[in-house]
Amino acid sequence: MPAKLVVDRLSHHYPDEYTGEDVHALDQVSLSVEDGEFSAVVGPSGCGKTTLLNILAGLLPHTEGSVQVDGREVGGPGPDRGVVFQEHAILPWRTVARNIGHGLEIQGIARSEREQRVQEFVDLVGLSGFEDRYPHELSGGMKQRCALARTLCANPVVMLMDEPFAAVDAQTRITLQEELNRIAIATRKTILFITHNVDEAAFLGDRCFIFSRRPGKLKATVKIDVPREKRIWKDLLSEKSYTDPRDEILRLVREEVFDDEE
């Protein structure tokens, strides 16, 4: 299977905003994500996860190494990589429908086709009936569904997600995780999902990339061999094929977090 996203020996340095000191954020990171694969990046805070995502999205130029999507070198942002951000990044001055259709509007897709596609994704994320609402009228979970639909509707090659469920409450998060799994089955998107939540990473990922503390290095890769259809929280908690890799990831991440205190 051809890899959709290939990161090769990627390093990044930047001067600290206040002290001017050189910060080594990423060190020789190499990883690849296959077509239709759901990959998760886990690591302690400050390990350069978000820096990695910003580089992949093209929002940040990298200092060394290469990033390729579908065999093409990444230089700047582009519609081949869709991003779901951590905060609510949908525009407050656009209705749900116009937010979801925003990518298509930028691509210059005709209105009639756009409306059809938008409706498809409104239904997919369960926002039917809310098409004409403004974001401030939605709950936190609904805003993230809208953000997810906006990214999917533009049909990117790779979908990058930056801790998209970190700001919602625990119940909503569980629902959103199961729904994202359902959407991943339905759309077969290639996804790179960034999180600091070990359970979330193991629940969603086919493969988990574990990062070390700064400078962020790829420390280990853990595979989770649970069929997508079986990924439902109430069944998974006692499933060894889930708990074993989850515990392994937890151990690897804890090593990084507690190294300091010894």
- Pick 62 or 207: Cβ nearer another protein: 62
For residue 151, CA distances in Å to 158, 207, 213, 258 come to 10, 22, 30, 36
Rounded Cα gap, residues 251 and 195, in angstroms: 16
Site for another protein in 47-106 (CB under 8 A): 57-59, 77-79, 81-83, 85, 87, 89-93, 102-103, 106
The phi and psi torsions of 244 (rounded to 5 degrees) equal -60, -55
Rounded Cα gap, residues 123 and 96, in angstroms: 12
Number of residues that bind another protein (CB under 8 A): 26
Site for another protein in 163-222 (CB under 8 A): none
Q: Minimum distance between the CB of residue 160 and another protein, rounded to whole angstroms?
A: 8
Site for another protein in 104-163 (CB under 8 A): 106-107, 134-137, 150, 154
Q: Minimum distance between the CB of residue 169 and another protein, rounded to whole angstroms?
A: 20
Q: Minimum distance between the CB of residue 80 and another protein, rounded to whole angstroms?
A: 9
- Pick 51 or 181: Cβ nearer another protein: 51
Alpha-helical (H) ranges within the chain are: 49-57, 96-100, 102-107, 111-124, 140-153, 170-187, 198-204, 233-236, 240-258
Torsion sign (Cα): 124, 125, 128, 133? negative
Which residues contribute to the site for another protein (CB under 8 A)? 57-59, 77-79, 81-83, 85, 87, 89-93, 102-103, 106-107, 134-137, 150, 154
